[in-house]
Structure 1
Amino acid sequence: MLAGIIKSIRKFTDLSEQEISEFIEMARIESYKPKSHFIRAGQIPTKFGIVISGLFRYVYISQEGKEFTKVFMPEGSFISSYSAMIAQTASHFFIEAIEESEVLVISYPNWQKLKSQNPQWNLLLLKLLEKGYSVKEKREREFLLLDAESRYRIFLEEYPELEKRVKQHMIASYLGITPIALSRIRKNMGA
């Protein structure tokens, strides 16, 4: 477990094993069953985490019950409704477990403490925010400029293993189409 967390953090910054161990000591491991929530829409978030095992998705649910999957978060991902957490406002989306999952979770006060003690944690945050912004910008561009089949092909290229782990209706909601439209696209592609 420790090796995977160190690898996830070191993708973004050069914190030492000792510094990462301090993070781990302030954190706790939480387990999630499929369909349970790390954060619920309407809840003021007080934590963020690193996915140790399993898979999550960020999902908006309309008043009519329609789902819109924002992103999938596999092992090694940092998960949070960060903007709601720092503003102390309700999250607009759910972070839902898709599989049996374990997350290393740190409270927002402990995170603030780490950042105040060591600027490398602020660098990690900056890198995470930059990555999140880049992903968001790319998704917006794809939705504005590409058709559904092109978006599906990009999904398969970027997440080759996820199609086996995620239900088709979730992929459809990620692509912004109906499950029937996704079935049609898959049939046309010979999938």
Structure 2
Amino acid sequence: MFDVLLSHIEDKVDLTEKDKSELQQFFTCKKLRKKQYLLQEGDVCKNLSFVSKGLLKSYMLDEKGSEHISMFAFEGWWISDFNSFINQEKAVLNIDAIEETELLTITREEYENLMVKIPIMDRYFRILYQNSLVTKDYRLMVFNSFTAEEKYTQFAEKNPDIIQRVPHNLIASYLGLTPETVSRIRKKISFK
């Protein structure tokens, strides 16, 4: 489980052997069953979580109880309600498992200790946050300017694994489309 995290970190920064041996002490292993919550709206997000196996979704519920998915997180991704985690405020997001999932979690206190004890991790997280901001900016542009078919096609090309692993109604929610629209687009694409 820890090897997935080490590999992910080493893709971004160079760790010494000492860093590698110290790193594990900051994390706790956690397993989730399918549909089990990692975080519920209104709770304070106590952990930043790295997905070593499985798949989760992060979402808000509207007044009608409809899900509005903001993120899918699969192997090699981090997930949390980051505002809640950093500021220790009530979460606005729900996070639950789409598949059985294995996580490595780190508390806010241990996250801060990690930055002090292994300074290269500050650079690692800065790279992640920069990439996340670029991704969110791109997603906003796509959401506001692409047609439904362009949204789905672009998402499918960038995330072929998710297309196979996630029910199309969840993909529709993520793309801001109806399940019927996604079904129609999928049929149209399969006939091409």
Could you say whether these structures have the same fold, taking a TM-score greater than 0.5 normalized by the shorter chain as the test? yes
In the aligned structure 2, how far is the partner of 1:163 from the partner of 1:107? 32
Which letter does structure 2 place at the counterpart of 1:163? I
Equivalent position SS for 1:52: strand
Bigger mean CA offset, 87-96 vs 13-22: 13-22
Shift in Å at residue 16 of structure 1?
2.4
Equivalent position SS for 1:23: helix
**Following superposition of structure 1 onto structure 2, how do residues 114-153 of structure 1 map, counting pairs within 5 Å?**
114-153=114-153
Alignment match, 1:95 = 95
| Matching of residue 81 in structure 1 with residue 84 in structure 2 | no
Give the aligned length.
191
Shift in Å at residue 20 of structure 1?
3.2
In the aligned structure 1, how far is the partner of 2:50 from the partner of 2:110? 15
Which letter does structure 1 place at the counterpart of 2:125? L
Q: CA RMSD in A?
A: 1.4
Shift in Å at residue 64 of structure 1?
1.0
Alignment match, 2:33 = 33
TM-score by length of 2: 0.94
Cα pair distance change 1:185/1:71, threshold 3 Å: same
Once the two structures are superposed, residues 100-125 of structure 1 have per-residue CA deviations (whole angstroms, 9 ceiling, x without a partner) of 00001111111111112232121112
Equivalent position SS for 1:190: helix
Contact 2:26 2:114 in 1 (8 A): no
Once the two structures are superposed, residues 63-121 of structure 1 have per-residue CA deviations (whole angstroms, 9 ceiling, x without a partner) of 21111111211101111222221111112111211000000111111111111223212
In the aligned structure 1, how far is the partner of 2:74 from the partner of 2:157? 15
Q: List runs of 5+ in structure 1 lacking aligned partners.
A: none
In the aligned structure 1, how far is the partner of 2:17 from the partner of 2:8? 12
Q: List runs of 5+ in structure 2 lacking aligned partners.
A: none
Q: Which runs of 4+ in 1 moved over 6 A?
A: none
**Following superposition of structure 1 onto structure 2, how do residues 1-191 of structure 1 map, counting pairs within 5 Å?**
1-190=1-190
In the aligned structure 1, how far is the partner of 2:74 from the partner of 2:16? 24
Contact 1:6 1:17 in 2 (8 A): no
Contact 2:2 2:52 in 1 (8 A): no
Identity of aligned residues (%): 29
In the aligned structure 1, how far is the partner of 2:21 from the partner of 2:103? 16
In the aligned structure 2, how far is the partner of 1:17 from the partner of 1:76? 21
Which letter does structure 1 place at the counterpart of 2:151? R
